[in-house]
Structure 1
Amino acid sequence: MEKETIRIENFSDAVFAIAITLLVLDLHAPDIQTVKNGAELLAYLKNEWTAYLAFTLSFFSIFIMWVNHHKIFKQIYSRNTAIMFSNGLILFLVTAVSYPTALLSRFFEGEASSISVAIYTGIFVLINISYNLLWFIASNNKKLLRPGITNSAIKKIRNNYLYGFPTYLIAFGISFHYPAAALAISMLLLIYWAVSSGKINMVEE
């Protein structure tokens, strides 16, 4: 069976690359007029720790999303309009990650910390929903999937994405009162997605 999703995958790879590049635009070097020596430079860099945290968290979030996107499309061989639009939703949300990242880097230490974290964790709730939607649409018609894929494999991938959803909701819910804990959960979810991508690899065997 000839794979029909090559153009979708190539376009998606380009969007992921742009989205991950946009993150660095929020990292700023100090003005040479305001930083006169090494001590002042170190102090400036220390004060920018929230920007580095937000950048790192978002970079690896988008990278792991790309890895999972690549692996899920190794199971999808054909496309229809619904798959193209659900994939478009994923790409829309991925490109939007840079804005919550900027809010997090600017406001995490201040009185608006809870709102900035809520917006940040909220975007990942929506991204998780979009991944679940893509797989639901694809797996609803087995003719769209890789030849020979089993029902148990389809279910394994479905559960893999569903299991992350309640954790994202928890992170979003507690971000209004415990923003630091919500970010910690987001970091743990990165580890979960990195490990769970290996489960999709097992499906290919």
Structure 2
Amino acid sequence: MEKGRLEAFSDGVLAIIITIMVLELKVPHGDGWDVLFQQWPVFLSYVLSFIYVGIYWNNHHHFMHAAEKVSGGVLWTNLHLLFWLSLMPVTTGWMGENHFARLPVAVYGFVLMMCAIAWQPFQHSLIAANGGKGSLLAQALGGDWKGKVAVAMYLGGILLAFVAPWVSCVLYATVAAIWFIPDRRIESRIKQ
């Protein structure tokens, strides 16, 4: 199976997700700083989600670049990942519009956690389709400590959202910062 179609479809879905999120930003009615400042929760939630979608796009690109082929399992696990990512605009808007209230922050964290969980079968199916444990992808991935830490931090953020939603947001931003730092494992393996 050709991997180009999967890459093109995934890129298109991720581009649409970002487009929907930016369309949720409303033009402020007025020309003063006070009117602009009223929009800060919506803008801040958009920035965080934009970074997350960018991180998934970047990692998806690296994985697909290292892969030589895809299978039916890869197609389905990719769709599973894209399903959870497609919920980002709704939860982003809900969290921003409600000024980081408890339930929206918890639901946002749940969607982030499900994206991270959905990434696992995607990467495992891609590894299996490209030679299994001895493949370039499997060697580059190693123990995947970032993925395990991310899921734990999301779960903590979901639980804390009902007590201290701002702490949850800090946890979500921390996970984004961890993943924002470029991961050179795949690039270094390809160069070897």
Please report the TM-score for the alignment, with normalisation by the length of structure 1.
0.83
Residues in 2 aligned to 1:148 and 1:141: alpha-carbon distance in whole angstroms? 9
Identity level (%): 21
CA contact (8 A) 1:78 1:144 kept: no
Residues in 1 aligned to 2:181 and 2:12: alpha-carbon distance in whole angstroms? 24
Partner deviation per Cα, 1:74-94 (whole Å, 9 max, x = no partner): 232221111101101111222
Say yes or no: does 1:191 pair with 2:177: yes
Residues in 2 aligned to 1:44 and 1:150: alpha-carbon distance in whole angstroms? 49
Of the two, which has the highest radius of gyration?
1
Partner deviation per Cα, 1:5-53 (whole Å, 9 max, x = no partner): 111001111111111111111111134xxx3xx4xx3211111110111
Alignment counterpart, residue 133 of structure 1, candidates 112, 121, 126: 121
Alignment: residue pair count: 191
Unaligned runs of 5+ in 2: none
Question: Within 5 A, what are the aligned runs for 1:105-184?
Answer: 105-108=96-99, 113-143=101-131, 149=136, 152-156=139-143, 158-184=144-170
Give the aligned partner of residue 51 of structure 1. 42
Residues in 1 aligned to 2:9 and 2:132: alpha-carbon distance in whole angstroms? 19
Q: Which segment is superposed worse, 79-88 or 192-201?
A: 192-201
Alignment counterpart, residue 96 of structure 1, candidates 72, 75, 87: 87
CA RMSD of aligned residues (A): 2.3
Residues in 2 aligned to 1:165 and 1:200: alpha-carbon distance in whole angstroms? 21
Residue 19 of structure 2 aligns with an amino acid whose one-letter code is: T
- Aligned CA distance change for structure 1 residues 204 and 178 (closer, same or farther; 3 Å): farther
Structure 1 segments, 4+ long, off by >4 Å, are none
Residues in 1 aligned to 2:184 and 2:138: alpha-carbon distance in whole angstroms? 18
Residues in 2 aligned to 1:94 and 1:141: alpha-carbon distance in whole angstroms? 23
Residues in 1 aligned to 2:63 and 2:137: alpha-carbon distance in whole angstroms? 15
Residues in 2 aligned to 1:59 and 1:148: alpha-carbon distance in whole angstroms? 31
